[in-house]
Each structure stands twice: as structure tokens, then as C-alpha cells.
């Protein structure tokens, strides 16, 4: 989709979209449609309301956003247009913003509008696919002086979020560890990024034993992916780690329900990869190291066993209590490798890690754990501002003893139906080499789920805009 700045009318338009904030209803109508008399009983800009009518050869769509709309709400309202009213557009469309709209609101609307063109119909026959909006021209009118910059940002944000959607939504016979490594390599060819990928042999040489143990039962080769982005005027160095389990059977502790959704167990990887794409595309003045340990947790004669003791990059031995607690094992090696080889100023990992976090927060927010009060507050603030909310849970040392093992340095699961998300976080903490600025985001309930835009569960791109807001709040 191409966004074009315009301040004139275009007779070739199919559709002119006018967003309306309820508190500014009269002002917006007078500014944009001075000759139209419209009863507030029909339309007044209330949230989630629309009004469609024809004016000469152009359809006019009024989109109600409510009294004080937040970015997340605006994005969703505009995503509905292409997603649910695609037949209104065949040639071109214009989004006509009134003076009442600020830069944040305009950006959210433009992001949402582009997201509306995303569809899950990857493998449908051509005649059954939804309308393709990739070549659609979208004119944008606003009095904002920095409109072109806003449009560029909105385009890159939407591209990154769509990539995160797609990575989670692709089936596991396509989205494999090798696919993720190839994706990262192709990204490095178009953006200023350096990519390094370890195969099993190289991972063995690097001591990534916990990572390799999880991948042992799969015919698909595990890939340890490292992306580096540097900026000459970097303000700080951020490290990201994303859980990349491309499919999770549970291993020999096989899952008894919900396995059909386990293609989403690389939601953390999708977040950090898409965020890396966005950071590099926007040329943000930071240094960034992103690590994705990518594996498939499958079952065969070589699969790792419950009660095995395995080694790790950090030098800690791990007693495997449950092979379905595999995500923390690959994250442990990813975190340890990141600290030992790059030592960034801040470390954040994203993972669809525990059902316990879903039991605590449902599908409203991610669980936040941090050993730094400042870092935790920065992430919490960014989450509220972006609409991708995270909320803290305690990291008290008393929970650490739950992970004590009689035979090894630590065990990967405490085996109790309590404090599952917290004890998983305490496990990960053992592998950060006492780094003082680390945060773990358990996004099991928010990375993949039901929405109004699909009949099945889909990826959400949760965390991409949170990270953007987190970074820009520090610049």
C-alpha cells in the first residue's frame, strides 16, 4: 500500500474517510462537510459507530472514535475498514483528518488502516482469496507539518506488525527454524543489519547445550539466530531474546489439549524479529542485539527425557522435570550467550512461556518480571501508552528455592500448580549472570488469540509497539 500526501480533492476516489472525535463533532463536520446537515441521532462520532453516504461520485465514510480515543482504539477502528468493508474500495481512497487530530492519533489511524489489508488466506486458491490491497493508493490529508514523517513511521510500523502476524500465523510445516533463519538473513540484505546463524554443530561448539537438548527430537535442524544493528549515535545498547519454538508437542510430556495452537509458541520470536525490522527501518539511534533460539519440540527416539540432566551455556546443570517446560531452556542459553558475548545495557526477553500467566491476567496483558525497578516501570509505562499492557509480578528470592534440584544445579519446573509464571522467571534469572537490567515478559495470553478480524485464533504482534514506545521514551 502506498500512502500519499494530498491537500486537494480527487474525482477518481472511491472512498473518502473522515474520522470523527465525538468531543469535536460539530467542529469537524463544519470543517470537512460544511454543506451537510446531520442529526446527532444518526451519527455523532460515538466510539465504533460509522455513517456511510454518497456525495456525487464519492462515498463518504464517517468513522466515530469516541470522546477521547486512545491509539489502540483508533488503530482497531481503522483496521475494520479494509478488513470488513473492502467492497467500498476499488481504485483509491482518501483519509481526511480534521485539525483536531494530533500526530499520535493520525499515526494510529494510518497503522490500523494498513493492518486491515492483512488476511490469513495464504494457501487458498486465487479465486477464493480476499481483495489484495498491496497496490492501493491511499491519499492522506492533514494540516500537520510533519505529515510525511508520520506516514513513513506508520508505514514501517504496519509492515513490522504484519510480519509479526504472518510469522505466528504460518503453519509449522512452513514456519520452521530454518525459515526463521532465512527470514533474518533476507532482512539483513535490505536493512543495515548483520546476521549470524548457528547450526547444531556451531551451537555445540558454543556450549548451547540446553538449546540443543530441546531440538534433539525433531527432524528439523535447530537454528540459533543473532541479529545486530548499530547506529553511530547510539544512546544505549538493547538486547532482545525471543522464544522461538516453532511447534511444541510438549515433548515426551506430550500435551493433552490445545496442541493445534502450538504453532504460536514462537510468538516471542515474532515480536523481537519484527521489532528489530522496525528499529532498523526507522534508524533509531540505539545499538541492538537480538537473539532467537529457534527449535521444534518434537518426539522421536532422540527426544530429551524427563529426569535427564543437561548442561547449559551458563555452566549450570539442569534437571529436566518436564519436557513441556522447554521454552525456558532455550531462553536460558539465549540470555546467557547475550550477556557473555554482548553485555548490552538492557535485556528484555519475550516468550509465550506459561499458562500460569494466562491464569493470572487472562488475555488482557502480559506478565512483567524484572530485577530493575526502573526498567520494569519503563516497560509498564510504555505498555500503557502503546495499548500493549504489561503488569509486574514479584521476583522475591523466596521463590527461587522452588527450583532447587537434588541432583543438578537447578531444575526446569517445580512441578506444582502454583506460581508457575514466577518460578519460570526465577529459573531464567539464574542464567543472566547477575546482569542488573533484565526484564522477562511472559506473553502467553496476548501473543495469539481470538479477535474480530478472523474466525480463528491469530497472531497479535503484541510487544512490537511496546518496544518502540519503550525505546523512544529513552531517546
Question: In terms of residues, how long is the chain?
Answer: 475
The CATH class that applies to domain 162-472 reads alpha beta
CATH 3.40.220.10 domain residues, the chain: 2-145
> What is the Cα–Cα distance from 264 to 333, expressed in whole angstroms?
21
448 and 267 Cβ atoms separated by less than 8 Å: yes
Cβ-in-10-Å burial (0-12, 13-18, 19+) of 178 comes to middle
273 and 167 Cβ atoms separated by less than 8 Å: yes
CATH 3.40.630.10 domain residues, the chain: 162-472
Fold assignment, 2-145? 3.40.220
- Angle ∠(291,262,204) on CA atoms, nearest 5: 40
Active centre residues (catalytic): 255, 328
Residue 144 main-chain phi, psi, to 5 deg: -60, 135
H runs (alpha helix) in 116-262: 147-169, 177-190, 200-205, 209-215
Give the pLDDT score at 135: 87
How many other CB atoms are there within 10 angstroms of residue 11's CB atom?
7
282 and 229 Cβ atoms separated by less than 8 Å: no
> What is the Cα–Cα distance from 156 to 234, expressed in whole angstroms?
20
Residue 386: helix, strand or coil by DSSP?
Answer: helix
- Angle ∠(200,204,210) on CA atoms, nearest 5: 90
- Residue 224 pairs in a beta bridge with 198, 293
The dihedral through the CA atoms of 301, 299, 184, 327 has a sign that is: negative
Give the pLDDT score at 12: 65
Q: Which stretches of the chain score pLDDT less than 50?
A: none
Amino acid at each position: 500500500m502506498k500512502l500519499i500526501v494530498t491537500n486537494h480533492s480527487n474525482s477518481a476516489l472511491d472512498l473518502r474517510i473522515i474520522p470523527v472525535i465525538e468531543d469535536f463533532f460539530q467542529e469537524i463536520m463544519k470543517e470537512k462537510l460544511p454543506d451537510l446537515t446531520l442529526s446527532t441521532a444518526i451519527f455523532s462520532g460515538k466510539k465504533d459507530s460509522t455513517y456511510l453516504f454518497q456525495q456525487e461520485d464519492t462515498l463518504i465514510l464517517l468513522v466515530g472514535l469516541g470522546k477521547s480515543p486512545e491509539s489502540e482504539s483508533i488503530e482497531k477502528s481503522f483496521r475494520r475498514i479494509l478488513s470488513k468493508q473492502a467492497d467500498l474500495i476499488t481504485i483509491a481512497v482518501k483519509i481526511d483528518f480534521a485539525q483536531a487530530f494530533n500526530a499520535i492519533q493520525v499515526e494510529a489511524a494510518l497503522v490500523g488502516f494498513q493492518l486491515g489489508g492483512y488476511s490469513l488466506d495464504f494457501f487458498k486458491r486465487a479465486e477464493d482469496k480476499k481483495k489484495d490491497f498491496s497496490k492501493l493508493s491511499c491519499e492522506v490529508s492533514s494540516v500537520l507539518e510533519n505529515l510525511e514523517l508520520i506516514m513513513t513511521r506508520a508505514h514501517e510500523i504496519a509492515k513490522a506488525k504484519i510480519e509479526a502476524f504472518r510469522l505466528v500465523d504460518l503453519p509449522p510445516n512452513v514456519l520452521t527454524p530454518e525459515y526463521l533463519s532465512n527470514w533474518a538473513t533476507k532482512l539483513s540484505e535490505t536493512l543495515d543489519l548483520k546476521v549470524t546463524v548457528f547450526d547444531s554443530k556451531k551451537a555445540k561448539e558454543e556450549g548451547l547445550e540446553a538449546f540443543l537438548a530441546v531440538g534433539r527430537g525433531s527432524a528439523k535442524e535447530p537454528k540459533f539466530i543473532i541479529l545486530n544493528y548499530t547506529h553511530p549515535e547510539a544512546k544505549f545498547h538493547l538486547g532482545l531474546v525471543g522464544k522461538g519454538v516453532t511447534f511444541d508437542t510438549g515433548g515426551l510430556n506430550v500435551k493433552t489439549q490445545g496442541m493445534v495452537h502450538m504453532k504460536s509458541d514462537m510468538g516471542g520470536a515474532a515480536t523481537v524479529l519484527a521489532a528489530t525490522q522496525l528499529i532498523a527501518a526507522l534508524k533509531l539511534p540505539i545499538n541492538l542485539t537480538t537473539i532467537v533460539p529457534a527449535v521444534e519440540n518434537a518426539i522421536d527416539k532422540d527426544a530429551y527425557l524427563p529426569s535427564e540432566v543437561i548442561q547449559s551455556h551458563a555452566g549450570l546443570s539442569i534437571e529436566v522435570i518436564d519436557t513441556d517446560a522447554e521454552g525456558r531452556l532455550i531462553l536460558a542459553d539465549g540470555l546467557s550467550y547475550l550477556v557473555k558475548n554482548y553485555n548490552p545495557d538492557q535485556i528484555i526477553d519475550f516468550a509465550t512461556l506459561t499458562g500460569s500467566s494466562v491464569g493470572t491476567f487472562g488475555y488482557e496483558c502480559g506478565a512483567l518480571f524484572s530485577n530493575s525497578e526502573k526498567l520494569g516501570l519503563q516497560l509498564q509505562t510504555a505498555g500503557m501508552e502503546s495499548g500493549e499492557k504489561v503488569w509486574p509480578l514479584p521476583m522475591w528470592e523466596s521463590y527461587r528455592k522452588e527450583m532447587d534440584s537434588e541432583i543438578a544445579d537447578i531444575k526446569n519446573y517445580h512441578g506444582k500448580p502454583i506460581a508457575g509464571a514466577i518460578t519460570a522467571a526465577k529459573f531464567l534469572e539464574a542464567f543472566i549472570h547477575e546482569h542488573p537490567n533484565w526484564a522477562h515478559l511472559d506473553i502467553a495470553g496476548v501473543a495469539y488469540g481470538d479477535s474480530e478480524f478472523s474466525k480463528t485464533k491469530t497472531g497479535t504482534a503484541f510487544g512490537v509497539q511496546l518496544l518502540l514506545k519503550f525505546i523512544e521514551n529513552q531517546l
